[in-house]
Amino acid sequence: MKLDWDEITHVTKADPAKELPRDLGILARTDAVLVGGSDGVTAENTLDTIRAIKRHFPNKPVLQEPYSSSHVSTDTIEAADRLAIPAVYNGDREHFVGKHVSLFTEVGSKPEEILGTELPVLGDLIAAKGLDAVSRMADKIIGEGYVIQNLESTAAEVSGVTELYSDEQVAGAALATEAFYGFPVFYLEYSGAYGGPDDVEAAATYLDDTVFLYGGGIDSRRRTREILDAGADAVVVGDCFHEDPERFSETIPS
């Protein structure tokens, strides 16, 4: 499925470890769904979540955001439209580089465990199988330059974030995302808290081609509009999707 970011201003974050709302019809007006979480996530509950959403909305973009190779399987790769891989700038090395190396190491050395046994076996050329497996993933992968700005969040704890970035550092991370790393997405995550427009404005100054996602504390149409007006391309709404579907519906821009 083609992913047209120009058409996306509202993204729903669905945590596989949490119960989905009974009525998934509330997703009708969101533009895309991001499936992932920091705690209690498995490949199995990720797949269940993706499939449940796709049954209701087969044409709505659904992205998987895995934090570990254990969250990824043949089935999740096939079910999701994209894999969004976070690189946490203000986290520890493991969550900027280590997780990515581990993922591709596992795919390269044991591709049959990630992508199934249907790959061709050419004698002992396991490396060839690994390259084939990686190439099958490559067209679905989206790298995310990621900044976490809530030290009390599970995401910060899991990612080893111990210091918040200043406005200037957030702007620097945005510039690095576009000008140096070339990731197609920059994600500013407040994880349940509302950060307001200041960091958003600082980052947006340096983003021309990169998609800018903001997540955290979006619980009203007013906050959605404030973040979009500050320069984000889309808001990501998670907590109230699971906890208060009526309030969730109010976060969607008219």
What is each CA distance from 78 to 75, 134, 139, 241, in whole angstroms?
5, 14, 12, 25
pLDDT digits 0-9 by tens, 77-136 = 889 999 999 999 999 887 777 777 777 776 666 555 555 544 444 444 444 445 555 666
CA atoms 110, 65, 145, 190: torsion sign: negative
64-77 burial: b if 16+ Cβ within 10 Å, else e: bbbbebebbbbebb
Q: How far apart are CA 159 and CA 171, in angstroms?
A: 20
Q: What is the mean pLDDT of the chain?
A: 88
The secondary structure of residue 94, as a DSSP letter, is: G
The secondary structure of residue 21, as a DSSP letter, is: P
41-61 burial: b if 16+ Cβ within 10 Å, else e: bebebbbebbeebbeeeeebb
- Host H or E run for residue 2: none
Q: How far apart are CA 27 and CA 17, in angstroms?
A: 18
CATH numbers and ranges of domains, the chain: 5-249 (3.20.20.390)
- Host H or E run for residue 133: helix 126-138
Task: Indicate whether 210 pLDDT > 60.
Answer: yes
> Side chain identity at 192, as an amino acid letter?
G
Q: Which residue has the higher pLDDT, 244 or 130?
A: 244
186-202 burial: b if 16+ Cβ within 10 Å, else e: bbbbbbeeebebebbbb
Mean pLDDT is lowest, of 122-131, 142-151, 242-251, for 122-131
**Contact present, 48 and 54 (Cβ < 8 Å):** no
Candidates 21, 6, 70; CA nearest to 41 is: 70
Q: Which of 34-43, 102-111, 131-140, 196-205 has the highest mean pLDDT?
A: 196-205
Task: Identify the pLDDT of residue 212.
Answer: 98
